Chains A and B, each alone.
Chain A
């Protein structure tokens, strides 16, 4: 596959991941599934950032005399930060869900939960 055409499939994947994530958050009643869907959404956003920074034919942004073209390094730095943030939110969410399960005996979303 020609690398120059890689960006379009990437954008399609981004759209798919974001839609799957949002659909999961809206339609699922199990709280664990909701947080899994949120993680899927985050992955979609991270892929979007990487794709934006991608330059067809570019290599890793490390100084090297053999290569002239580099991909944009900044989005990769942003994605690293975003991954760490996503990880910490997921860890905290699971901790809260454990407490929730101990108090309520279920991970289902309660009927009486008012929004």
Chain B
């Protein structure tokens, strides 16, 4: 019943193109589709968690020739996070949106889920494009000057990125004549070394634009600042998380070499430093949150690069950091709708999210940083430990300033908006207390 992951992509895509026929009920139909997706993702995750990986071939062609979907506990978790937060976010903003917004929202969700669960590298490119095109339109949908500026920047960089990803795929295909990720991984050693590294560089550059890593993140502050709250929230939990997972898979499965580990580690470290320092200097709340996201993506990349050295703690760390960042940033972006926080729910959201991002026990963000430090100690990477402390101090400084300015008289907002916001932030607590993520890291992952 829950072992047909293709439905996670097919249902939102189909619904998105049905919506223009029933314009009036667009938001309701989209809400139903997202609710279905969330339920299915939860069911699929629990199925995979207890029974192991799922493979699904499309249209009856067996891999490596046919397209197939490969889902392990980790990608099921990512799909779960994306669809769960998509639903809560849609509860908050869906009612005010028109049918075009609902359509694009569904496309972005379908694309991000597709990136996570596909087992085919060209398919991954197509899903990247679906996500990116939907995101461009969602950002531009607000139609003021800043939104258009953000959308244009994202479009220019995103189009270059898509060309780079496609060149990378073409280079791999020219040597191995296959597009299946696990088939590529099995035969990567037989590739010409120059072409192998060229294709890795192209893919990393292309996907790095979506994953917001330095120096490819010029679009991030403008896009997050220009987009409406709901869209900024969506951008912070769906496309960026899917893209960082794609980079991790590239690093751990397709190119499992020492050099890729070092490149990713250094890019992550630089991204972390630049993102946190830039966030500290921002006056605008959304720009600050955007730069803070960049810093956190750097931290996640560091965790994944250590995980590629076979450190189980580092994998746990990356899972906790992903969950913590998705829960906290998306709720903080929803909160940034007005200058002041909304009553009790607003204060609760702000404080829980900020504490999780800074890394206070027992929230999810704390476990992320804790396990990252443990694994850095195993590898004797002292500068990583110093950097985590440094990031924590800078984060504390700018988030304290943010809380100090924001807590005050209550703004106006609907009950469902407040409830959704608080529910999102609560996942930082829930995942911090549940032993789920520890167990996932010890399951057999990544394999083909």
A-contact 0/1 string along B145-174, CB 8 Å cutoff: 100110111011011101100110110011
B221 surroundings in chain A (CB, below 8 A)? 114
Q: A88–B107 Cα gap in the complex (Å)?
A: 14
Q: Are the C-beta atoms of B160 and A38 separated by less than 8 Å?
A: yes
A-B contacts counted at CB < 8 A amount to 91
Q: Are the C-beta atoms of B163 and A99 separated by less than 8 Å?
A: no
Q: Are the C-beta atoms of A104 and B145 separated by less than 8 Å?
A: yes
Q: Are the C-beta atoms of A45 and B173 separated by less than 8 Å?
A: no
Q: A103–B143 Cα gap in the complex (Å)?
A: 9
Q: Are the C-beta atoms of B173 and A38 separated by less than 8 Å?
A: no
B-contact 0/1 string along A44-62, CB 8 Å cutoff: 1100110010000000000
Q: Are the C-beta atoms of A92 and B148 separated by less than 8 Å?
A: no
A34, CB-defined interface residue at 8 Å: yes
Q: Are the C-beta atoms of B126 and A85 separated by less than 8 Å?
A: yes
Segment with Cβ contacts to A, from B72-80, B133-141, B351-359: B133-141
Q: A113–B149 Cα gap in the complex (Å)?
A: 8
Q: Are the C-beta atoms of A85 and B129 separated by less than 8 Å?
A: yes
B122, CB-defined interface residue at 8 Å: yes
Q: A36–B360 Cα gap in the complex (Å)?
A: 49
Q: Are the C-beta atoms of B159 and A45 separated by less than 8 Å?
A: no
- Nearest CB of chain B from residue A31's CB, rounded to whole Å: 6
Given A41-B160, A96-B140, the answer on whether A78 and B122 have CB atoms closer than 8 Å is yes
A100, CB-defined interface residue at 8 Å: yes
Centre residue among B137, B145, B155 by max chain A CB count within 10 A = B155
B160 surroundings in chain A (CB, below 8 A)? 22, 25, 38, 41
Q: A41–B122 Cα gap in the complex (Å)?
A: 18
- Nearest CB of chain B from residue A103's CB, rounded to whole Å: 5
- Nearest CB of chain B from residue A55's CB, rounded to whole Å: 12
Q: Are the C-beta atoms of A99 and B170 separated by less than 8 Å?
A: no
Q: Are the C-beta atoms of B153 and A103 separated by less than 8 Å?
A: no
Q: A68–B136 Cα gap in the complex (Å)?
A: 46
Q: A85–B161 Cα gap in the complex (Å)?
A: 13
Binding site for A on B (CB under 8 A): 122, 126, 129, 132-133, 136-137, 140, 143-145, 148-149, 151-153, 155-156, 158-160, 162-163, 166-167, 169-170, 173-174, 177, 179, 218, 221-222
Binding site for B on A (CB under 8 A): 18, 21-22, 25, 31, 34-35, 38, 41-42, 44-45, 48-49, 52, 72, 74-75, 78, 81-82, 85, 88-89, 92-93, 96-97, 99-100, 103-104, 110, 113-115
Report 20 cross-chain contacts, Cβ distance below 8 Å, ordered by A residue. Answer: A18-B163, A35-B156, A35-B159, A38-B160, A41-B163, A42-B162, A44-B163, A45-B167, A75-B173, A78-B122, A85-B133, A88-B133, A89-B133, A93-B159, A96-B140, A99-B148, A103-B143, A114-B222, A115-B153, A115-B218
